[in-house]
Structure 1
Amino acid sequence: MVLSVSLCALLGYLIGSLSFAVWIAKSRGVDILKEGSGNPGATNVKRVLGKKAGNTVFFLDFLKGCVAVGLGLWIVGDPGGIAGAVGAVLGHSASIFIRFRGGKGVAVTMGALLVLMPITLLTGLVIWVITFKVSRYVSLASILFAISLPVTALILNQIWGLVSQPLVIFAALIAVLIVVRHRSNLVRLINGQEHKFTGKSSQ
């Protein structure tokens, strides 16, 4: 069991490490690590290269989470699914292919949650959309999305028994990771220096 779960985590990490933001930007002659915020994620790609490129990166990152969890579930069930999800988020955040740099992990987390905890994901998405529509801050929406995950998972576990205890712990760990990855954004939000998303491309 331990070896199987470890294999799922490793596969998840390698899948998560696939940096579609870097590769898609490179195909357009752009080094995304040196443009915009320098973050190899969908939001920065959208700012730099436009909506189509950004949405493509988001979809592919989302798919990484789905595939990593699906493989884990197929190999060893729920423990493998959780290990695959954690591995994918870590891989996306610290990719072996780009010298352990990476994105914030939100899209990958959403893909993983679609397979593991769809109700928790749906609740988080509602919070993300409302926050973004009101504030126009992607970072704030992502932080509140992350915080909502363990809260929703715990409620589903305690009241309806729809989510297992390991999944609650997983949600909490992922929330911590996403918030930590957004620490610089959080500082800028507090200082009133965070940039709102306008949807305009710089090219």
Structure 2
Amino acid sequence: MTAGVVLGWAAAIALAFLVGSVNPATLIARVRGTDLSVSGSGNPGATNAGRVLGRKWGVLVGVLDVLKGLVPTVIAAHWVGPHLAYAVGLAAVLGHIWSPFLHGRGGKGVATTLGAILGVHPLIAVVVLVVFALGFAVTRWVAAGSILGALAMLVIAVLVWTGHWPGDVWTGVWLTALALVVLARHKNNVVGWWRQRRMP
């Protein structure tokens, strides 16, 4: 890579991070006179926005969060290629999770992750969404659907590496990174569920 290309990639990644850092849930809640950080679960994401503000607002936040991952990856994939799209997609997700505008806080990254995947690999996004929907339908728990969707991403990554799904090694690395980020953000959900299961 030339110095100009490196600077271009760095600028695109930084811009994607900033786009991801803009938190629709917090902004909409403020306009409506609510502070999500002290309402519901305290999480500035679509699920908590829907719980506190109402379902239609939760859906709107979810769509906007998807777009934060979708738009940067589509632009990067169109103008450069999938590898830059992978980088900016991951950056948008990390921006959503650790937003500098929220002092390092953020949502759990599920919708933005879905948007990033949709921008580069629509079929994978559909599979992840179906797994999420089935998990939610069975458990009625968004976190369970999110965790199952992340696990589906890990399975697809393995299929990519073994040649059973289209993609190169970086596709598998990217999917694995996104899945691990989502799973890490749901660690407390898993721990809470496990403790409930162990209670007499």
Q: Would you call these one fold, judging by a TM-score over 0.5?
A: yes
Aligned to 2:158: 154
Question: What's the RMSD between the two structures over aligned residues?
Answer: 1.5
- The answer to whether 1:105 aligns with 2:118 is no
Check whether the contact 1:14–1:91 (CA below 8 A) recurs between aligned residues. Answer: yes
Count of matched residue positions in the alignment of Structure 1 and Structure 2 = 193
2: CA distance, partners of 1:75 / 1:10: 17
* Alignment match of 1:23 (pick from 1, 22, 27): 27
Aligned to 1:57: 61
2: CA distance, partners of 1:189 / 1:9: 36
1:75 Cα deviation after fit:
4.4
Check whether the contact 1:8–1:71 (CA below 8 A) recurs between aligned residues. Answer: no
Q: TM-score, normalised by structure 2?
A: 0.91
Name the CA shift for 1:75/1:3 in 2 (closer, same or farther; >3 Å): farther
* Further displaced range: 72-81 or 19-28: 72-81
* Alignment match of 1:141 (pick from 135, 140, 145): 145
* Alignment match of 1:131 (pick from 135, 138, 150): 135
Q: TM-score, normalised by structure 1?
A: 0.90
1:129 Cα deviation after fit:
0.9
Aligned to 1:178: 182
Counting aligned pairs with the same residue, the percent is: 38
1:119 Cα deviation after fit:
1.6
What is the one-letter code of the residue matched to 1:100? Answer: G
Check whether the contact 2:71–2:119 (CA below 8 A) recurs between aligned residues. Answer: no
* Alignment match of 1:168 (pick from 172, 197, 200): 172
- Per-residue deviation, residues 175-196 of structure 1 (Å, max 9, x unmatched): 1111111111111111228xxx
Q: Which runs of 5+ in 1 are unaligned?
A: 194-203
Check whether the contact 1:93–1:105 (CA below 8 A) recurs between aligned residues. Answer: yes
Aligned to 1:44: 48
* Alignment match of 2:18 (pick from 14, 21, 40): 14
Name the CA shift for 1:157/1:115 in 2 (closer, same or farther; >3 Å): farther
2: CA distance, partners of 1:6 / 1:190: 41
* Further displaced range: 27-36 or 5-14: 5-14
Check whether the contact 2:156–2:165 (CA below 8 A) recurs between aligned residues. Answer: no
2: CA distance, partners of 1:92 / 1:51: 21
1: CA distance, partners of 2:41 / 2:68: 23
1: CA distance, partners of 2:22 / 2:42: 17
Q: Which runs of 5+ in 2 are unaligned?
A: none
